Amino acid sequence: AKEQGRNRYHYFTDSMQQQAHYRMRLIQDLRSAVESCAFQLSYQPIVELKSGQVTKAEALIRWHHPQRGQVSPAEFIPVAEDTGLIFAIGNWVFQQAVKQSAQWREQFGAEVQISINKSPVQFRDEGSHFHEWLQTLQQQPDGGICIEITEGLLLDTNMPVSEKLLAYRDAGVQVSLDDFGTGYSSLAYLKKFDIDYLKIDQSFTKNIDSDASNQTLCEAIVVMAHKLGMKVIAEGVETAAQAALLQQINCDYAQGYFYSKPVSAIEFASLYLQPTAI
Ligand code: C2E
Ligand code: CA
Ligand code: CA
Ligand code: CA
């Protein structure tokens, strides 16, 4: 038994070493990716359920690693947050989204709102970038950009979150609360912050058509959100049955593979934007 325990110990340290090594490589590679701007944005349509129209898109970052291929943001964003690389990445995402929004407006006269994910780390420590963002945003038409934040941020009492959100809103930005339902904030608590959209997490959407209590929960969220002046976006919609149910409970918007996976900007334009008639 002792022998076994020792072996296990060895195995454990080896794998920890491997993990540490792997992580260091990832940090190095991420740093050079930032330097060479090796990222792209994909856009996933957000569909207005009542009209069936695509009025919004969520921008999702993509990193094509020269050896490893696509690395998921779920893997590298936390590393970027730990190393401070998130500031450069977040600024790139923001600039890119603003550029894309302007280009689509010019080319198509399109009023597609682009949503970007803003890491709580970035929100907390962005320093002077905050004012740069506000300046950039003030030059954009209102409602062109939406910022997605998560519940954890609102519960952080060390930060003037509501003041910052107000400043963004004054600059014409809308605010979405991402992954709603996975954290601890109550709807009543959200009222303190001016939030435009609640995004129901995909873990709730997943079995909305098969789990009655889940359906009741989503319905209650929609009713309450509407009472509080917010609109609701359901994430991770994968089937027609889920979409139908969401429409039935008065959910405002839906996003997910049922409509489309995230696509390139070019693909997005060819699928959802029409050239303006001259
Ligand atoms: P998120 O903000 O919750 O984004 C939704 C994720 O769900 C995306 O994964 C999207 O591709 C995926 N998804 C969309 N529809 C479906 C569906 O029907 N079924 C399933 N199973 N998944 C669906 P992705 O692009 O891999 O991003 C993962 C997470 O990484 C995001 O979760 C977000 O937290 C983070 N992230 C992505 N891009 C950025 C970014 O530019 N900045 C920051 N700070 N975080 C980002
Ligand atoms: Ca999001
Ligand atoms: Ca989400
Ligand atoms: Ca998320």
ipTM of the complex: 0.97
For ligand 1, say whether the CB of 60 is within 6 Å of any of its atoms.
yes
Query: For residue 27, which of 89, 93, 90, 76 has the smallest C-alpha distance?
Result: 76
For ligand 1, say whether the CB of 47 is within 6 Å of any of its atoms.
no
Helices 129-138/86-108 angle, 10° precision: 0
Q: Tens digit of pLDDT for each residue in 93-119?
A: 999 999 999 999 999 987 899 999 999
Q: Can you give the C-alpha Rg of the chain in angstroms? A: 21
Q: What is the pLDDT of residue 1?
A: 47
Please choose from 115, 117, 209 the residue to mutate so as to test ligand 1's pocket, defined by most ligand atoms within 8 A of CB: 117
In order of 87, 227, 249, the CA distances from 121 in angstroms are 9, 31, 35
Residue found under tokens 């207005």: 48
Q: Which residues partner with 39 through β-bridges? A: 63
Cα(117) to centroid(ligand 2), Å: 5
Confidence tier at 17 by pLDDT (50, 70, 90):
confident
Query: Which protein residue's CA is at the shortest distance from atom 43 of ligand 1?
Result: 117
Query: For residue 252, which of 24, 17, 56 has the smallest C-alpha distance?
Result: 56
Q: pTM for this one?
A: 0.93
Query: Which protein residue's CA is at the shortest distance from atom 17 of ligand 1?
Result: 236
